[in-house]
Structure formats: structure tokens, C-alpha cells
Chain A
Amino acid sequence: MRQHKLALCKHHFLEWIPAQTERFIKKYEMFTRYQKILVAVSGGKDSLSLWDILIKLGYQVDGLYIGLGIGDEGGYSDLSRQMCENFSRERGQKLHIIDIKRKYGETLPQIAQRTRRGKNKACSVCGLTKRHVMNQVSKNFNYDVLVTGHNLDDEAAVLFGNTLHWAGDFMIRQAPVLPATPGFTRKAKPLCRFYEKEMAAYAILSGIEYIYEECPYSIGSTSIYYKQQLNRLEHNNPGEKLRFYLHFLKAKESGLFVLPDEISQDLHECSNCGQPTSADGICSFCRMFDQIEGMI
């Protein structure tokens, strides 16, 4: 790990990752062992590793898998679900499964194809759907915190994109922890300071079976392009990705952006699902289905 000027054997690396995770959980005051945690799992290396680490650290953590219906039978979504089910069964952990087709009548690619939001942008529909379902499940089952497996490369790529476009409103909201607000569960990203390569190494060395296949919609995505560019910088200057992210957090803390309590958002309940929304009437998620019904 050139960025840390640290070389560890397998045994010590597998101790170091959970110890560092615990340090980040405490540093950013993410959650405690008295709280009920829901981890969103996709079957990938990051989310399953995070679940594994939180179990090892003794947190009360259940999983949530959202079946998007991507790929044919036995394809991407089926495989990723299998990985999550195997993981939870082998470790005797509770896994909530929400199947989008069963719940809403159509798979994610079908929804994307029919809606304006999804035209050539299935990822936009996917993000909206996952955020909606994650919040709904965490509220319905009274979880205190919703955690995701975003790693440093994910965070740095988002920050890179937002910086290129000076998307200040998004930058304000990017943080290791998003506090609970009326209608929204607290969110945390305990892996936000680990390199993607470190998380892959953790998964492999821990014997965690994860889906190696890429989501077909992510091929050629902007996030992967940004990650590649950042890795070029990292290659020539070890630690660059970590500094980019940490200096951003420091700058935010010291007032580069508006303070979070100065942000005012006029939120009200969606008249259909009851989740908070800044839109008039129904939220963006419900509007997506409204559009579908209008087209049938």
C-alpha cells in the first residue's frame, strides 16, 4: 500500500482493515453497537466485505438486497442475489430481499426503457430506485442507520465529477455520514477511506465469494472513466486519491462550502408513498411509475 507506505502480510492485512474501519466509524461518529444497522448489499466485493467486517466487529447488522432484474435468467441480477443469499446463509445473518419486478411489476431495464428519466440512462433510474427502496426498508423495519459499501475510489470519482462541473449542491451533501432528517434514515459509508484495490484484496483474502462480472449498464460509464483518470494520477503520485478526498472533507469542515445547518430544503411528504420530497405532489420515484401508467 504505497499510499500508506505500509506492507502487510495476509494475516495482518485482514486485521488492519477491520481495525481501520472501526477507527473511521468512531472518527466520523457513524454509529454505535447499540444501534440497528442495515447494510445495502449488491453481491459485489465492497458491500459484502463491509457486511463481513461489521459482523466481525460485533455490530447488529442485517442485509438488504434489491433485485433489479438486470440480465436474463441466471444473469447479472440472479448471480448477484445468489452471492448475497450464500453470504447471509453461511453466516446466519438476516437478509431482506426486495424484488423490483415483484413489487412494481417491471424490471429496472423495463422501467428505464419506458420513462423519460431512463432513456439511455438506466443508471439514473437505478440510483433513484435504490435510494427509495433503501430508505423505505430502513424506515419500515426501524433501522437506525443505513450503510453502503462506497470505497475511496467511488467517493473520489464522484467528487472529481462534481468538481469538474462545479456541482456545489452535490458537494455539500458528499460526506462519510449523512445525518437523519425527517423521513430519511441516517446514512454512513464506513469504507470511504479504503482504496478499491484494498477492498478487493480483503474480499479475496477473506474468501468472500462476490460477483466479478460487471453490471452491463456500467460499461463505458463516466464513473469508471473518472476512476481511471484518478488512478493515472495515483500511479505517478501515490496517495493522490486519498489526499483529494480528505482535503475536500477538511475544506468543507473549515467552511469552504455553506454549513449544513444553513441549507434549507422545503421537504414535504409524497402524497403517494409518504417519503420526503422537494417536488410538489408526488416524489420523483412515484412520478416515474406515473409516467409508465400514463403510457400503457
Chain B
Amino acid sequence: MVTVIIRGHEFEIRSGMTLLSSLVKLDILPETVLATRNGEMITEDEILRDGERVELIEVISGG
């Protein structure tokens, strides 16, 4: 499983999918987040492997 973290909330998702598919599965618009793995930014076509932790950074702000 892959752990996806957004604003402190953790979600478990099946491994082997791309980041893009994982976000869609979690009902998160890819346009609204950036993803990092081990502190490095990753692109939407990266495959997420078992045991990985991916942190999402929300990019949309108000004002």
C-alpha cells in the first residue's frame, strides 16, 4: 500500500498506480496539489510503489 498525506490526514491507496490515477482515485484534483516523495517533487506519471509515503502540498490559496 501507499500512504498519501494531505494536511496531516493520511490515506492508504493501492500501489502500482501513477500519481495521477491515485489522485483521481482519492477524488483530488491534480491541478490543486503538488506531490513530494522523500522531500523530492514528483510528476503525475510517476508510479507509486508499495510502502512509499507521498505528501501532497495544496497549491490553491484564497484572497
Contact = CB atoms under 8 A, between A and B. Distances in A.
A188 to B, nearest CB: 18
Contacts of B30: 235
Nearest to B59: A200
Interface in A80-110: none
Interface string A118-151: 0000010000000000000000000000000000
Contact of A224 (B31, B34, B41, B60): B60
Contacts of B41: 10, 201, 204-205
How many of chain B's residues touch chain A, expressed as a range?
Answer: 10 to 19
Interface of A: 7, 10, 42, 44-46, 123, 153-154, 195-197, 199-201, 204-205, 212, 214-215, 218-219, 221, 223-224, 227-228, 231-232, 234-235
Given A196-B59, A197-B32, 9 more contacts: A197-B34, A204-B36, A218-B62, A218-B63, A219-B62, A224-B60, A224-B61, A228-B60, A234-B31
22 contacts: A7-B43, A123-B63, A196-B59, A196-B60, A196-B61, A197-B32, A201-B41, A204-B36, A204-B41, A204-B57, A214-B61, A215-B61, A218-B63, A219-B62, A221-B63, A223-B63, A224-B60, A231-B29, A231-B31, A231-B60, A235-B29, A235-B30
